Structure 1
Amino acid sequence: MDRIKELPEEDRPREKIEKFGAESLTDSELLAVLLRTGTNGKSAVTLARELLKEFGNLKKISEASLQELTSFKGLGKAKAITLIAAFEVGRRASNSLSPKKVKSPKDAFEVIKPLVDKLKVEELGILTLNSAGEVIGIHKVARGGSNRVSVRAKEILRPAVKDLAEGIILFHNHPSGSLKPSPEDIHITEKLKEACKILGIELLDHIIVTEENFFSFKGEGLV
């Protein structure tokens, strides 16, 4: 008799990983492994299925904020944080498969877009690069409201100094869909360029990302 069928439902995904490998699991079973336990008489598998039904698919769950996840009945803060961490590990693993070389604003956009795609709030971060133009690290620095972030130059440059970066690319998203730089965008770019000169780090570009396109300060001669 199949041992998997003899196990409680919430334990079956782990048994399947042992027996057949993680690739054999459905999306809901993978989520159930992360959730570990169910709630209110529901197994982890049932909770995972309901979560998928609510959000639509794994991609949309991976893009959800902590507040959005915890608003789902049965998903407490600990479970939500576990999911957020797991999706971030997956993103970082994908991004670190091989060094990415950035030779153009389009190259930078292709690295940045998966990080901020479909976010409902602005997030600001940097790519740190070595002398060969290879990405050393990707660092999110600040999160703001639906149309703004506020951050100081030293907060932006802290991870660049730690990475011993030769250059950085500043990036942030515009959830509104507008590619036009705001006065604040221009101001932080100018301030950051000045701070970079002091530290011997080159500000290579500032990329504004929307769901479909991007604006490059370098491409427009603004850095």
Structure 2
Amino acid sequence: MRITDLPVEQRPRERLRRLGPDALTDAEVVAILIGAGNREHNAIDLAHRLIASTGGVAGLATTTVQEIERIRGLGPAASARIAAATELRRRAALTEPASGVSGSAGVAAAVLPHLQDRQRERMMVAVLDRRLRVVDVVPIAEGTTAHAAAPVGDVLRAVLTRGGQAFALAHNHPGGSLEPSPADRTATAQVRAAAEACGLRFLDHLIVAGDHWRAI
């Protein structure tokens, strides 16, 4: 069935206009981005296939254009629209607050968009000014799914070259555990000592697993 064969009130675009985007299913949202189907599948069918192939909308958010195009019926235009929409969502999440970060929760808000849904372990440093406002969030290391090292020299260089006076570390555990490893604790102690020697304020080291986090 083509989407144009559906009653007007059941079509995704009309439902969005009438009820707002929150009322749409994941497949309906993606179908609007796809735009049109083909002779075999309508846009909603293609959206279901795409979401299933990526393991859900969280997986879709990190899927490349080339991976999207592997779904039969999705060409370069639809793939580009979907990739652009997920990038727009990521950039919106990275919008910095006017005020400084407040405790671990503030650090988490700055780094989560960089670490959620990552399949490989990645370490970030959030660079802050003297008022604890976020200057930049910088990737420092990316390892296998099991480990990403914390190169102390690279961390300090990232902070100092950006004029930072405070910073925080964060890395993800793709396996879902929030429990710090002995290596995580050792890295935290090393970075804290190095920060003190350089006159920098070290705020925190967070572990991120999906939408959850904890401070070491």
- Per the normalisation by structure 1, the TM-score is 0.62
- The residue aligned with 2:180 is 180
Deviations 1:173-198 (A, max 9, x none): 12330412332551365157426744
User: Are 2:31 and 2:46, in contact at CA under 8 Å, matched by a contact in 1?
Assistant: yes
Secondary structure, counterpart of 1:190 in structure 2: helix
What are the equivalent positions in structure 2 for 1:73-112 lying under 5 Å apart?
73-74=71-72, 83=82, 86-96=85-95, 98-99=97-98, 101-112=100-111
Match of 1:54 in 2: 53
Instruction: Please tell me whether the aligned partners of residues 189 and 206 of structure 1 are also in contact (alpha carbons under 8 angstroms).
Output: no
Gaps of 5+ in 1: 6-12, 217-223
CA contact (8 A) 1:51 1:72 kept: no
Aligned-partner residue type, residue 105 of structure 1: S
Percentage identity across paired residues of the two chains: 21
Q: Confirm or deny: 8 A CA contact 1:179 1:209 kept in the other structure.
A: no
Residue 214 of structure 1 corresponds to 214
2:166 & 2:78 partners in 1: Cα distance?
A: 37
- Matched residue, 2:155: 156
CA positional deviation for 1:61 = 1.1
Superposed displacement of residue 126, structure 1: 1.2
Give the whole-Å Cα distance in 1 for the aligned partners of 2:27 and 2:205: 39
Shift of 1:130: 1.3
Letter in 2 for 1:103: S
Does the 8 Å contact 1:35/1:79 carry over to 2?
yes
CA distance in 2, matches of 1:100, 1:193: 27
Give the letter for the 2:190 counterpart.
E
Q: Distance in 2 between matches of 1:159 and 1:195?
A: 12
State the one-letter code of the partner of 1:181.
Answer: S
**What stretches of structure 2 of length at least 5 have no aligned partner?**
5-11
Across the aligned residues of Structure 1 and Structure 2, the Cα RMSD in angstroms comes to 4.5
Do the aligned partners of 1:124 and 1:143 also contact (CA within 8 Å) in 2?
yes
Distance change >3 Å, CA 60–CA 37, structure 1 → 2: same
- Structure 1 residues 114 and 143: alpha-carbon distance in aligned structure 2, compared to 1, 3 A threshold: same
Residues in 1 aligned to 2:39 and 2:153: alpha-carbon distance in whole angstroms: 47
How far is the alpha carbon of 1:68 from its aligned partner? 10
Aligned to 2:194: 194
Tell me the CA shift for residue 172 of structure 1: 0.5
The amino acid across from 2:102 in the alignment is K
Counterparts of 2:154 and 2:104, CA distance in 1:
23
2:7 is aligned to: none
Structure 1 residue 134, shift from structure 2 partner: 1.7
Paired residues, number = 204
**2: CA distance between counterparts of 1:182 and 1:98?**
34
Q: Are the structure 2 counterparts of residues 151 and 213 from structure 1 closer, same or farther at C-alpha, using a change threshold of 3 Å?
A: closer
Offset of residue 117 of structure 1: 3.0
* Greater alpha carbon shift after TM alignment, 75-84 vs 143-152: 75-84
2:123/2:139 contact within 8 Å kept = yes
Q: Distance in 2 between matches of 1:124 and 1:38?
A: 40
Deviation at 1:35, TM superposition (A): 6.7
Say if 1:78 and 1:192 are closer, same or farther in 2 by CA, change over 3 A.
farther
AA of the residue aligned to 1:168: F
Shift in CA distance, 67/90, structure 1 to aligned 2, threshold 3 Å:
closer
Aligned AA (1:152)? P
